[in-house]
């Protein structure tokens, strides 16, 4: 694209003058650019595309709904796609999560969850204002979501806007007891409204992974101290970890849960925050001052809800988790070969999320090798965005054997080049 484009891209340093390709169309795991390239989307376009780009059933649902009802105020009004989606979600999610609040993105789903938690305690006459977070977390880029995320280069300039939180150390393998002890102590002090976690896998924090046993114990501690448990399943939901929800693997039901990204199969922006009856009941009153004060213009957009309903139908009618298991096996085989050939450490995997660290002295999100690898992948028609020195894969479940092989070859060649 022209360097004179007025577009300001997210998480992109325009001063480095990287090439910004213009994508004209997509199909399955492939992106087709204006200059005739076929690029394999190895990260599901930022972890959203589950079944593949332009899935026919989802496209058809969007087209049909767009011709019927495009938008409707959702404050005191409703429509069939939202009603169907809410019922569809409560049918497949943990039964305790009885209530569905719509929003527009993962970040706003987290904002809603935090406000629900604080409102719960305030409306019940026991106002609490402490939020506990897990070290290295990332929950989004709005103010509340940034506040409960890792502090650093992501948000240093905005620190005057962020509220204080208490951080629990990440449960690295062999050091889980330190995490659990810290959580126990933080909860015991009191005045804790909620603990928010990314279950099993911390995404932007470096694809850090921890055990289901640890997740289960964290939930037990929160319940023991009457602390609300918020699960941010925005990335980990919809099969990424090998189950519909990451929390399933720990037998955990949160008080509040955030879903987005794969909710519409990655086709439309839509999010939900699901809550248990006590959370809803704390806001249910004849007193209008206790209503839940949150909305946006496009809450429960009918077209987005129709896309999400088509996604639910795919989950009902097709063997999605079998595809995830098959993909995970193929990814592991490829990464094992790469790890044996290159200086790789900490190879790890949860479901179809697989990651490894390139063993270099310059590490972290801004590590120079990350940009070099990204350029190398793009030169080989692969969309991969390393997190510093961490290479990870999270492709659509429809990716073919040949396409996955091309990704592995591109990683192999790029590592040989940049190292």
More confident residue, 108 or 190: 108
In degrees, to the nearest 5, what angle opens at C-alpha 186 toward C-alphas 183 and 188?
105
> Is pLDDT at 85 greater than 80 in this prediction?
yes
Q: Are 256 and 117 in contact (CB under 8 A)?
A: yes
**Class in CATH terms, 14-55+319-418:** alpha beta
CA distances from 289 to 35, 117, 231, 283 (A): 56, 16, 27, 9
User: Confidence band (pLDDT; 50, 70, 90) for 153?
Assistant: confident
List, in order, residues 6 or more apart from 189 with CB less than 8 Å away: none
**Least confident stretch, 8-17, 177-186, 254-263, 318-327:** 8-17
Query: Given strand 256-259, what is the order of strands in its sheet?
Result: 99-103, 271-275, 256-259, 228-232, 192-197, 130-134, 166-168
First and final C-alpha spacing in the chain? 30
> Which token pair is 391?
């290479």
The tens digit of pLDDT for each residue in 274-283 reads: 999 999 999 9
pLDDT at 19: 85
User: Confidence band (pLDDT; 50, 70, 90) for 154?
Assistant: confident
Per-domain residue ranges for the chain? 14-55+319-418, 58-317
Cα gap 42→29, rounded to integer Å: 8
List, in order, residues 6 or more apart from 24 with CB less than 8 Å away: 32, 33, 34
Cα gap 351→337, rounded to integer Å: 18
Average pLDDT, stretch 11-40? 94
The residue whose two tokens read 């008080």 is 255
- DSSP codes of every residue in 136-196: T----SSHHHHHTS--STTTGGGGGGPPP-EEEPP--TT-HHHHHHHHHHHHHHS-EEEEE
DSSP 8-state symbol, 104: S
Query: Given strand 344-350, what is the order of strands in its sheet?
Result: 344-350, 353-358, 390-393
74 forms beta bridges with: none
Angle at which helices 401-418 and 320-341 cross, to 10°: 30
The residue whose two tokens read 């948000």 is 155
> Is pLDDT at 17 greater than 90 in this prediction?
no
Choose the CATH number for 58-317 among 3.40.640.10, 3.40.50.720, 3.50.50.60, 3.40.50.10950. 3.40.640.10
Q: What is the mean pLDDT of the chain?
A: 96
> Is pLDDT at 1 greater than 80 in this prediction?
no
User: Confidence band (pLDDT; 50, 70, 90) for 318?
Assistant: very high
Percent of the chain exceeding pLDDT 90 equals: 93
> Is pLDDT at 392 greater than 60 in this prediction?
yes
Pairing of strands 166-168, 130-134: parallel
The tens digit of pLDDT for each residue in 159-177 reads: 999 999 999 999 999 999 9
Long-range contacts, stretch 274-278, CB < 8 angstroms, 24+ apart: 274/89, 274/90, 274/93, 274/97, 274/99, 274/100, 274/101, 275/97, 275/98, 275/99, 275/101, 275/116, 276/96, 276/97, 276/98, 276/99, 277/96, 277/98, 277/99, 278/120
pLDDT at 2: 52
Q: Are 38 and 30 in contact (CB under 8 A)?
A: yes
User: Confidence band (pLDDT; 50, 70, 90) for 3?
Assistant: low
- Scanning 318-397, the segments in alpha helix (DSSP H) are 320-341, 368-379
């Amino acid at each position: 694209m022209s360097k004179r484009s007025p577009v300001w891209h997210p998480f992109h340093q325009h001063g480095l003058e990287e090439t910004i390709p213009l994508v004209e169309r997509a199909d399955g795991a492939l992106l087709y650019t204006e200059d005739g390239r076929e690029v394999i989307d190895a990260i599901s376009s930022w972890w959203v595309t589950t079944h593949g780009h332009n899935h026919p059933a989802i496209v058809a649902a969007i087209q049909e709904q767009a011709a019927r009802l495009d938008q409707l105020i959702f404050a005191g009004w409703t429509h069939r796609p939202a009603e169907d989606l809410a019922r569809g979600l409560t049918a497949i999610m943990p039964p305790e999560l009885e209530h569905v609040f719509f929003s527009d993105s993962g970040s706003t789903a987290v904002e809603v969850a935090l406000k629900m938690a604080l409102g719960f305690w305030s409306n019940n006459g026991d106002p609490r204002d402490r939020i506990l977070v897990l070290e290295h977390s990332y929950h989004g880029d709005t103010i509340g979501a940034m506040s409960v995320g890792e502090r650093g280069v992501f948000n240093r300039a905005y620190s005057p806007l962020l509220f204080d939180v208490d951080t629990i150390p990440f449960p690295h393998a062999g050091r889980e007891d330190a995490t659990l002890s810290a959580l126990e102590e933080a909860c015991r002090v009191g005045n804790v409204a909620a603990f928010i976690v990314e279950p099993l896998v911390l995404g932007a924090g470096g694809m850090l992974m921890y055990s289901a046993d640890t997740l289960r114990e964290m939930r037990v501690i929160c319940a023991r101290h009457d602390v609300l448990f918020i699960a941010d399943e925005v990335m980990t939901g919809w099969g990424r970890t090998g189950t519909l929800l990451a929390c399933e693997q720990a037998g955990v039901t949160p008080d509040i849960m955030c879903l987005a990204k794969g909710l519409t199969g990655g086709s439309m922006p839509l999010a939900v925050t699901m809550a248990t009856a006590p959370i809803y009941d704390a806001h249910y009153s004849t007193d209008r001052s206790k209503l839940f004060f949150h909305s946006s213009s496009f809450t429960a957009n009918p077209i987005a809800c129709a896309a999400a309903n088509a996604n639910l139908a795919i989950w009902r009618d097709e063997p999605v988790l079998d595809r995830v298991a098959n993909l995970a096996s193929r990814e592991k085989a490829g990464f094992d070969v790469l790890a044996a050939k290159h200086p790789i450490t900490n190879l790890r995997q949860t479901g179809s999320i697989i990651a490894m660290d390139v063993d270099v002295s310059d590490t972290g999100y801004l590590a120079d090798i990350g940009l070099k690898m990204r350029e190398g992948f793009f030169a080989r028609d692969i969309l991969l965005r390393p997190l510093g020195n961490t290479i990870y894969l999270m492709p659509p479940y429809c990716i073919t054997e040949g396409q996955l092989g091309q990704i592995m070859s591109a990683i192999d060649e790029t590592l040989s080049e940049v190292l």
